[in-house]
Amino acid sequence: MSELLIPNVGPIQPKDVGAETPLRKGADGGAFEKALRDISSSKPAAPAPAQPAGSTAPLKFSAHALNRIKDRSIAMSDDLKGKLEKAVDTAAQKGSKESLILSDDAAFIVSVKNKTVITVLDRNQMNGNVFTNIDSTVVI
């Protein structure tokens, strides 16, 4: 009965793993074969250097966050921005990815990995809200 389902199937012949088998050349005239050999013979790329903990990369604001700051008249002083940057660095050291940072007057949702403020809410909008997709909260 199995012959009817899978006709003409025989045992798989073992191949010499170390022997190079020619690839079938297609319309590209062997360019694929050359690219495959180049990839397999090249060394792996060195990993990008990691940023040190507490790096001083500047905090960025998404266009959405900038619009919310403007629309909601949230005062962004240099002191507040410095506190935000420090809070993001602290969250990064703890392994956070998305953080809620609470100040006296506003709430900031921040992508810690990208050091980017995603959105901002003022004190009135914080009440009654549920913050989702965050893994940490920092109070500044």
The mean predicted confidence, pLDDT, of the chain is 78
Q: Which residues pair with 92 in a beta bridge?
A: none
Residue 84 lies in a domain: yes
Residue 26 has pLDDT above 70, yes or no: no
Residue 8 lies in a domain: no
Residue 115 lies in a domain: yes
35-61 residue pLDDT tens:
666 666 655 555 544 444 445 678 999
Q: Which residues pair with 136 in a beta bridge?
A: 99
58-87 residue pLDDT tens:
899 999 999 999 999 999 999 999 999 999
User: Tokens 């966050």 identify what position?
Assistant: 65
- For residue 135, give both structure tokens: 């893994």
Give the sheet arrangement for strand 106-111, strand by strand.
60-61, 116-122, 106-111, 98-102, 136-139
Domain count, the chain: 1
Q: Which residues pair with 107 in a beta bridge?
A: 102, 121
Domain of 131 in residue numbering reads as 60-139
pTM value is: 0.60
